[in-house]
Amino acid sequence: MTWLTEELPGTGGRYKVTPEDFQVEEIPLYDCAGSGEHLYLWIEKAGLSTRGLIQQLQRALHISEREIGYAGLKDANALTRQMISIPVANRAGLDKLVLHKAKILSARQHTNKLRLGHLAGNRFTITLRETVPDAAQRARLILEQLQRRGVPNFFGEQRYGILGNSARLGQLLLQHNWLGFCDELIGDPAQIQNQQWQAAARAYQAGQLTEALNYLPERMTDERSLLTMLAAGKTPQQAVKRFPKTLLRLLLSAAQSYFFDQLVKQRLHEPERLLDGDIAFKHVNGACFRVPNAAAEQPRSDSFEISPTAPLFGGKVMLAEGVPGQWESELLAGSGLTLADWNLGSGLSMPGERKPLRIPLYEMALEKGSEQALILRFALPKGSYATSVLREVTKTID
């Protein structure tokens, strides 16, 4: 089975034709106090990643990355609105601040720095273009089933990078395979479409590091940093360990996401069904508990009070028991990793957590656009992705 709504035909169509076709608005977890040592900036950006936005703020305001707070990463190829926090002492620098592909909509003070996960969820407005003639009717039937049974909680395509290898990079970090990491980051020329990048990858494979740097596009700052360090005589291990911890943790998180997605696929046909030994997730507060008797707890899952979970593997994560526990252990062992491998130290250890196999769908609305376009509006809780909805609706995204 590829989709939860396998029996319902999809709408087809394309999205992200323009950044405005994919709009995301963060739902704050709390209101700003109006006073405090931190300034919360409500920022709209288009065609720009959250990391790119943070780098602009660092340079313009002369502050370190650790002084900047954000609740979540937002898609680069989209029109997004999200909160970013900076020290209130840097307010004066905003007067002369000019951001590329972004603008500050408002600024309010608060008592604490914004932390990762400090959001309730996200609202999406997505335009699907070139859909089938009866797309609205098809989408409505699919979305109604997703509201009833839940949306499969895939991380999906945006989690794994332009070459789809972010999870592989994370696994190489866990294995301490530094040279393999460098090779993977620069990329396989056969999978690269950009001609400059492809030429750089070929030069790198030939050991011509200076030539690779000359070819590599300027915007590829991580790859350029790696090549610069290698050309200066640093070992692969030294070069990799000089990357910002935020980037390395992002890649480790991608590895966690990959394993989680495999377990979602394994139970895609019945994401609401509990099994003996499962660890269930309470949607009201995010707490988890073991399920020794699945039959006794199944009514709570049927009412969407609770859901089965799968792990984001880490050094301290709790694994399931019984059949679901066997699936989890076999997946990790098959990769050649153990839970202890996630205890990397130096600010890179990943404790792990449990995530529900499915998520609720809120605020659903449909609207027909011009020229066979369909506009979808919905909200999802934090830590979940709109592509999980789109793959079910369109039946074209895998």
What does the pLDDT average to over 65-75? 92
Q: Which residues pair with 22 in a beta bridge?
A: 126
Q: Whose structure tokens read 């780098």? A: 55
User: So what's the pLDDT on residue 396?
Assistant: 87
How far is Cα 101 from Cα 363, in angstroms, rounded to an integer?
29
pLDDT in tens, 345-388: 989 999 999 999 999 999 999 999 888 899 999 999 998 999 99
Contact 239, 182 (CB under 8 A): yes
Does residue 174 surpass a pLDDT of 70? Answer: yes
Nearest-5° Cα angle at 83, 81 to 85: 150
Contacts of 11 by beta carbon, 8 Å cutoff, 6+ apart: 128, 131, 132, 135, 138, 139, 374, 393, 394, 395
Closest CA to 362 of 147, 149, 155, 140: 147
pLDDT at 398: 53
Mean pLDDT for the stretch of residues 312-341:
96
Rounded to the nearest 5°, which phi and psi values hold at 92?
-60, -35
Q: Which residues are catalytic?
A: 75
Q: State pLDDT tens for residues 202-257.
A: 999 999 999 999 999 998 999 999 999 999 999 999 999 999 998 999 999 999 99
What does each C-alpha distance from 267 to 157, 185, 306, 316, 379 come to in angstroms? 19, 32, 16, 24, 24
Given a cut of 80, is residue 158 above it in pLDDT?
no
Task: Round the CA-based radius of gyration of the chain to a whole number and report it.
Answer: 22
User: pLDDT band at 269, cuts 50/70/90?
Assistant: very high
- Predicted local confidence at residue 17, as pLDDT: 87
Q: Express each pLDDT in 10-23 by its tens digit.
A: 999 998 888 899 99
Tell me the average pLDDT across 102-129: 95
pLDDT at 77 over 80: yes
Alpha-carbon distance of 10 to 141, in angstroms, equals: 10
Give the whole-number percent of the chain exceeding pLDDT 70.
99
Q: Which carries the bigger pLDDT value, residue 73 or residue 320?
A: 320
**What is the tens place of the pLDDT at every residue in 275-299?**
999 999 999 999 999 999 999 999 9
Residue 113, CA atoms < 13 Å, CB-side half-sphere: 11
- pLDDT score at 1: 65
Residue 63 DSSP SS3: coil
DSSP letters spanning 295-335: HHHHHHHHTTSEEEEEEE--TTPPPP-HHHHHHHHHHHHHT
Tell me the whole-structure pTM to 2 decimals. 0.87
Asked if 155 and 179 touch (Cβ cutoff 8 Å), the reply is no
- At 309, the pLDDT band (50, 70, 90 cuts) reads very high
Q: Locate 329 and state its tokens.
A: 């252990």
For residue 116, is pLDDT > 80? Answer: yes
- State yes or no: pLDDT of 344 exceeds 70: yes
Q: Model confidence at 160, in pLDDT bands (50, 70, 90)?
A: confident
Provide mean pLDDT across the span 173-195: 96
